[in-house]
Structure 1
Amino acid sequence: MLRANTRWEYPEHNQTVVQQYVERFGVSTLTAKVLAERGFQSEEDIASFLQIDETSVHDPFLLKGMNEAVPRIQTAIRNREPVLIFGDYDADGVSSTAVLYETLASLGAVVDTYIPNRFTEGYGPNEAAFRQAHDAGCKLIITVDTGISAVAEAKVAKELGIDLIVTDHHEPPPELPNTYATINPKQPGCTYPFPELAGVGVAFKLSCALLGSFSEQLLAHVAIGTIADLVPLTGENRYLAKRGIIVLKQTTHPGLQALKYECGIDDSVLSEEEIGFAIGPRINAAGRLDSADPALMAMTATTFEEGQAYAKQINQLNEQRQGIVRDITEEAKKEVEARDPNGESSVIVVAKEGWNEGVIGIVASRLVEAYYRPTIVLSINPETGLAKGSARSIEGFNMFEELSKCREWLPRFGGHKMAAGLTMETTDIERLRQQLNDQAKSVLTAEDFTPLTNIDLVADIQEVTEEAIEDLQRLAPFGIENPKPNVLLKGLSLAQKRRIGAERNHLKVMFEHGGHSLDAIGFRFGEVYDDLSLQSPVDVVGALSINEWNGHRKPQLMMKDIAVDEWQLFDLRGEKQIADRLQGLPKKRILCVSFREETLHEMKDVANQWETISIGFDGRGSQPIDVNGRFLVLLDLPITEEQVTTWFKNIGCPDRIYPIFHQRESQFFSGAPSKEDFRWFYAFLKKHHIFHLETQTAKLIKARGWRKEDLTFMIQVFFELDFVKINEGTVKIVDQPEKRSLTDSLTYQRKIEETKIEQEYLFSSYQELKQKFAAMIENKERVTVQA
């Protein structure tokens, strides 16, 4: 058995509905199953989702504050008033700044940009920046992707005579800033039909209102910010992202061309994944490690050479960022395990001086991946006594709402259900930790701490074709609230498996079923290699793609989780480095079993490392033991069939069996003396009456070609049958003994039994051995054991 890493939740498809979708909308069975699972209620909803046209786009003037903001900006353009765009240092903020900058510049505005430095200024608008803008003659500041919490800064702007327009998409706090205009689809009183726009989406709506039309050329920037900020890719966001990807593929924008080039992106395969995993992280890297200005310059460059210079710079910063994240993550894990060695905390809060506050959000995500707990990572500044942190959550724990209950310790915080940023006094960290853990106990169940994998469709391997996978792309772009479909394939045979990658930490396999095959890749699945037996049926969850290589195209599964729902046999007969082979397995699940006392000494390198029990000749262990969920390592061969079958009757059902079957000497190849040997030796004894062991043994075994063990064995058998007596080194024949068969001797029986045991256990095929153990395990009640 191999237990899945996550809880699998998957649908029972209504085949009638699925077939209706196939016929009505001309989609593949796979696509129809996804549509059915995702709860589309009407044909109109499905048609709209598949067509993804401009009907998803809403009038920008439906946004509260737009009617006030646009005339004020137009006045500034006409009067040549200096306008400052105040952005944020993440990919959404940089994209938002680029969108509004290029819009105002195209309209002839006197415009400049300002993105605060994360390390010297922190998040959001600040008084010093506003005063600097005032001294430069600025009368209008427009924030993008920030500002909804800037109550104090709005007061400063009013005192300075600066009109402040806030455009943002973050959750509004109880008190809103007093501004000239605030545009945020989530603010109270805003009836905009789609409140889930990214910051760049809000900036784009302002641009459209200013331009008087829908600006296609800006959609590449919009797609980058929208996808990178992990907002729901539904409704208007879905349209903006999909159209933006098309524009980004075809763009002649010098900066974006250079950025794609430095990321090594081929336009033919450019999708939301390239934006999310290549472009977005590079833009974010600039603001995480230093100033976000190079990223903004790359996105607004007017020549390819200029764009390439800045793209190279942020690419180097991204490489530095990756190394820093690795180091801090390792430090943070040590902090977690030192503070909570038994994993009892419901919420993880770790803090340390010197951690780069620009990457602690990524570190928080890594800790959620490792421990699956809501997590806050804080960087402490010893000079100010403040800690700046990033929070990441799990399903069932609304981070923004839960932090809102701790406002007394959080002078500044903001965010969403799954992520937040905060600043607090270092002295309040322990109180926050305790309070969040107390709150988590009231909202989270034990089940919530096991990651959930939502599966969209259960498929047969023959349904997985190139055409079906291409049809699934009609549901793209994929992201939050429209994830790439997870497919479950059940009962597959594992035809091939091998580790790949420089560190051999990835897994490549081929699955088969019913004459069909499917290649699969599992990144960071290398450790699973030794947990999969080629002879066990496998269930696997993953995302489908098409692998293109050397002109060939094949369906491929990107594995996310894998399970084997029956006990497995791993054949270690004949292997030399047994301890090394077992080393990677969970120590507490291994149980070494010995049927012979001497084996514990002969295999002490194995027996001393793991829990070990010895099974007596009667099939009883030294103590009662339940092996449900355990990994049985059978160190040696049973002495008798009854010994092993009796023991297996009372132990439960193991997850795995690892037969080693160590023995000093093979009974099968040494064999028992033949009946002819017994007859000849008995006749010899009758003729000579007395046999002197010390003087006659060597001569006799040489003449007959026997081993000394053979002679000793026959004498013991004759002794047990009362055919001879043994006294002071002599063997004497018994006159007229009772007629008996060789099989009446216990020693003879055991010899024959041991030879049979070898044949059936040591020299049997894998399949024969598995069938033998299966017969013993069959019909046992399985008890769930936690890994």
Structure 2
Amino acid sequence: MLSAKARWSIGSADEALVETFVSELQIDPLVAKMLVLRHLGTVHEAEQFLHGGLENFHDPFLLDGMLPAVERIKKALERNEHIRVYGDYDADGVSSTSLMAHLLQGLGARFDTYIPHRIREGYGLNRSAIALAKEQGVSLLITVDTGISAVGEVQYIQELGMDVIVTDHHEPPETLPDALSIINPKKPGCPYPYKQLAGVGVAFKLAHALLGRIPEELLEFAALGTVADLMPLTGENRLIVKMGLVRMQASAYPGFRSLIGVSGIERKEVTASHIGFSLAPRINASGRLECADDAVKLLTTTDEQEAEQIAFELDMLNKERQRIVEEMAAEALEMAEQQRSKGLDKVIVVAKEGWNVGVVGIVASKIVEKFYRPTLVLSIDPETGIAKGSARSIVGFDLYKALTECKHWLDHYGGHQAAAGMSLNHIHLDAFSHKLNELAETTLSEEDLIPFLRADVACSLADVPISSIQQLEKLAPFGMGNPAPKFVFTDLLLGDIRTMGKEKQHLKLGLSQMDNEISNSVEAIAFGKGNLAHVIAPAARLDVLGEVSINEWNGMRKPQIVMQDLRITHVQLFDWRGAQQLEAKLSQLKEALSSGIGNMAVNNSIPAIVLFNESDVATFASSSFQIGEAIPYWIVQDSGGLMAGNEQAAELDFASMQDIVLYTIPRNAEDLRNILQQARGIMRCYAIFAEFGTNSGSTMPTRDMFKLLYGTLQKEGSLNVQDQRLMQALSKRSGLSPTMIQFIVSVFEELGFIERQGAVVKLQATPAKKDLTTSRLYQDRLHRQEVETIVMYSSAKELEQWIVEQLTFQNELLEEIV
């Protein structure tokens, strides 16, 4: 077995509607199914999703506050007033600010832009910047991607005699600022039909209203900010990004061309993923580490050389940002582990002096990825004691709502369900953290704390030929709200397994499946899951959840699965009988388990070794593989009971262990059955069955052989069993092998027929009469042939089948008892 990392949810489509889409729209059945699963209920909706264009944009004047905003801006243009665009320092804010700059420049406005410094000023409007605007003759402030919560600051603007238009998309608070106009589709009472615009999307609608047409030339900016801010790619957002990407691939702006170039992307291949993972991080690096003004300058310059220089500098900043994130994340993850050990394990809150406040959100995302818990990461200012931070959440926990419950501790906060920012005095951090955990305790179930993966459909490999995979591109662009289609494939046979990457961190599998006596094969790749290679057996049958794509190499085009999760639902056998380098194999296994396999419990993330004979312990402990102190091991006693062999084993419950290593050969089949039936949590079984001691071999000496050696002892008087020359001579004379002689001597010793003085054995003067069958060694040898047939002479498939039968019997027995 191999547990999945996440809970899988598999969609189900209305087949009648699928058939309607296929016939009416003349599309591939797989594409039709994806449309139905995206809750498109009519042919018109599906047609618009696939082919929507400019005609599908909504009237910008449906946004409440748009008319007075347009009238005021036009008045400012007529009077040649000084307009200031006040933005935010993230990629959405930079895109919004740049879009407005191009708009106002095209309108011939007298304007400038201002983005606060993340470290020195923090998020949103601030009084110093407002006062500066007044001093510099600004009469109209237009906020983009900020301002919805700035009640006091907006009042201050008015007190200074300036007007302010707020354009924002964040969740509105209970009390709104008293601005000349507030444009936010989420504002209570706003009739605008699409509520999920990014900050740059709202700015785009303002441009639409001012120009009286859809400003196609600004779509690139709107696409950049929409994807960067993780807005759902539905409705107008989908139109913005889809059309913006087309323009970006042949961009007229030097800034976009240089940014794409420095990111190593072919312009004609720019996708939403490229924006999210390459372009946006470089834009964000400016505001995170220094000042976002450089990013705005990049997106607004008309000078090719200047654009290339700024793009290069942002690329360097991004590399520095990555280094800082790596260092901070290591510290934060260690602190998160400590916090969870104290019982605060529903919401993680970590804070430290000196952390770069510009990257706390990224670090929070990494902690969520590691622990799947809502996470807040804060940087404490050593002079003021103010902790500023960012939060990232999981499905089922509304961050904004939770922060509202804690607002009496917070100086500022804002955001939405999945992400938020806040600041508070560090003295309140403990109370704040405890309150968040209390809220999560009542909101989140244990199941909620397991990652959730949604797949569109379960299908076979035959259902996704290259032609269908190509058709799926009609659903792009992919992102939030419109994820790339995901599929579940079940009962796949494993043909090949390997790791890739400089550090062997990626997993590559060759998988196949029979369909109508035709074998379909595919390569599957899982990034960052190279450790799983050690817990997937060659005979495993896998279920895989992932995306499909086409891999092109040397002119060959093959289907490929990019795996996001996988599972194995049967007990796996790893046939290590006779394998070389057992030390390396077990070390790799231990390392793989400790790095995390599925939803494995911490106590079970180590292998459990079983030695089937108490006499095995000495040889095992002195072997080249010194694992006695590192890995727990258990010993099967002569009575058949199981005893912990070291302290590690004593602290664990054998019945709950998931990885069982059968290290030595059992004395008999019954011992092996008993162990397997006690291993109720077993998922993976590693069969080594090494032979230690004199009990190796299954050939049973005859009674005449026992008499022959007994007579030799009577004649010789004594025998040095460690004298190799003597033993060889005796073997040649008697026809018994040295190993057989050692076994017979051991039986005589157990029955009390002989006494041993070091290496020398001799007959007892008056031994008690005992039958050979009363010897445990003799009985073990009698049963040895049966157990060897099972564990030594069987194929891997036969051994696996035998083990599964014992486990099945155990489960049936437990069900009867219950």
In the alignment, which of 531, 552, 565 is matched to residue 556 of structure 2? 552
Retained in 1: the 8 A contact 2:339–2:348?
no
Shift of 1:749: 5.8
> Which shows bigger deviation, 65-74 or 640-649?
640-649
Deviation at 1:184, TM superposition (A): 1.3
Count of residue correspondences: 774
Aligned equivalents of 2:671, 2:740: Cα separation in 1? 25
Q: Deviations over 1:596-640 (max 9, x none)?
A: 002122223334433333223454334997635522111211111
The one-character-per-residue Cα deviations of 1:440-489 (angstroms, maximum 9, x if unpaired) are 22221121111111111112111222221222222221222222222111
Are the equivalent residues in 1 in contact too, given 2:329–2:367 (CA < 8 A)?
yes
Query: Following superposition of structure 1 onto structure 2, how do residues 276-425 of structure 1 map, counting pairs within 5 Å?
Result: 276-341=276-341, 344-425=344-425
Match of residue 536, structure 2, among 516, 532, 538: 532
- Per-residue CA deviation, residues 118-159 of structure 1 (Å, 9 max, x unaligned), is 111111112222222222222111111111122222222222
Q: Return the letter of the residue paired with 2:689.
A: F
| Equivalent residues of 1:30, 1:459 under 8 A apart | no
Report the 3-state secondary structure (helix = DSSP H, G, I; strand = E; otherwise coil) of the residue aligned with 1:781. helix
CA distance 1:665–1:22, shift in 2 (3 Å): farther
2:592 aligned with 1:588, yes or no? no
Contact 1:233/1:482 (8 A) holds in 2: yes
Alpha-carbon displacement from aligned partner over 1:67-104 (angstroms, at most 9, x marks no partner): 11112212222222221111111111111111111111
Q: Which residue of 2 aligns with 1:640?
A: 668
Counterpart of 1:598, as a letter, is S
Instruction: Report matched runs for 1:125-274 at 5 Å.
Output: 125-274=125-274
Give the secondary-structure state (helix, strand or coil) at the position aligned to 1:359.
helix
> C-alpha separation between the residues in 2 aligned to 1:413 and 1:105?
33
The alignment status of 1:692 with 2:716, answered yes or no, reads yes
Is there any run of 5+ residues in structure 2 with no aligned partner, and where?
A: 595-601, 645-651, 721-725
CA spacing shift, 1:12–1:110, aligned 2, 3 Å: closer
- Percent identity reads 39
1:756 deviates by 4.8
Deviates more, 1:570-579 or 1:422-431: 570-579
The answer for the alignment partner of 1:597 in structure 2 is: 614
**What is the aligned partner in structure 1 of residue 598 from structure 2?**
none
1:454 and 1:139 map into 2 onto residues whose CA distance is: 50
Are the aligned partners of 1:668 and 1:759 in contact in 2 as well (CA < 8 Å)?
no
Structure 1 window deviating more from structure 2 (268-277 vs 598-607): it is 598-607
Q: Which moved more, 1:411-420 or 1:643-652?
A: 643-652
State how far apart, in whole Å, the 2-side matches of 1:651 and 1:750 are.
Answer: 23
In structure 2, do the counterparts of structure 1 residues 123 and 654 end up closer, same or farther at CA, with 3 Å as the change threshold? same
The answer on 1:613 being equivalent to 2:634 is: yes
Cα distance change on mapping 1:562 and 1:106 into 2, 3 Å: same
Read off the aligned partner of 1:267 and give its amino acid letter.
Answer: R
- Cα shift at 1:201: 0.8
* 2:680 counterpart residue number: 652
Greater shift, 130-139 or 321-330, is seen at 130-139
Distance in 2 between residues matched to 1:757 and 1:716, nearest whole Å: 21
Rounded Cα–Cα distance in structure 1 between residues aligned with 2:608 and 2:782: 29
Kindly provide the amino acid, as one letter, of the partner of residue 610 in structure 1: I
Give 1:689 deviation, angstroms.
12
> Structure 1 regions of 5+ residues with no counterpart?
none
- Supply the AA of the counterpart residue of 1:754: R
Q: How far apart are residue 657 of structure 1 and its match? A: 1.0
- Matched letter for residue 361 of structure 2: G
In 2, distance between residues paired with 1:250 and 1:234? 24
3-state DSSP of counterpart to 2:810? coil
1:417 maps to a residue whose letter is: Q
Aligned-CA RMSD value: 3.2
Match of 2:428 in 1: 428
Residue 437 of structure 1 corresponds to: 437
Structure 1 residues 730 and 297: CA distance shift in structure 2, 3 A: closer
Of 766, 770, 783 in structure 1, the residue corresponding to residue 800 of structure 2 is 770
For 1:402-551, what aligned pairs fall within 5 Å after superposition? 402-514=402-514, 515-551=519-555
- Identify the residue that residue 62 of structure 1 maps to in structure 2: 62
Using the TM superposition, name which of 469-478 and 82-91 deviates more.
469-478
With over 3 angstroms needed to count, the CA separation of the structure-2 counterparts of 1:22 and 1:716, relative to structure 1, is: same
**Whole-Å separation in 2 of the counterparts to 1:27 and 1:494:** 33
* 1:581/1:361 CA distance change after superposition, 3 Å: closer
TM-superposed CA distance for 1:212, in Å, is: 1.8
Cα 1:527–1:646 shift into 2, 3 Å? closer
Aligned to 2:791, which of 761, 773, 776?
Answer: 761
> Following the alignment from structure 1 to structure 2, what is the Cα–Cα distance between the partners of residues 192 and 743?
92
Distance 1:731 1:17, change over 3 A: farther
TM-aligned CA distance change 1:87 to 1:707, over 3 Å: same
Kept after mapping to 2: 8 A contact 1:653/1:781 = no
Structure 2 contact 486–547 (Cα < 8 Å) conserved? yes
Question: Which amino acid is the alignment partner of residue 600 of structure 1?
Answer: V
Question: How many angstroms does 1:341 deviate by?
Answer: 1.4
Structure 1 segment 65-84 matched on structure 2, within 5 A: 65-84=65-84
Distance 1:401 1:233 in 2: 24
Structure 1 window deviating more from structure 2 (406-415 vs 712-721): it is 712-721
Using structure 2 for the length normalisation, give the TM-score.
0.88
Q: Distance in 2 between matches of 1:342 and 1:19?
A: 55
Partners of 1:692 and 1:730 within 8 A in 2: no
Q: Partner residue of 1:51?
A: 51
The residue identity in structure 1 corresponding to 2:801 is Q
* Stretch of structure 1 that moved more, 573-582 or 761-770: 573-582
**Per-residue deviation at 1:725?**
11
Provide the TM-score with structure 1 as the length reference.
0.91
Distance 1:705 1:170, change over 3 A: same
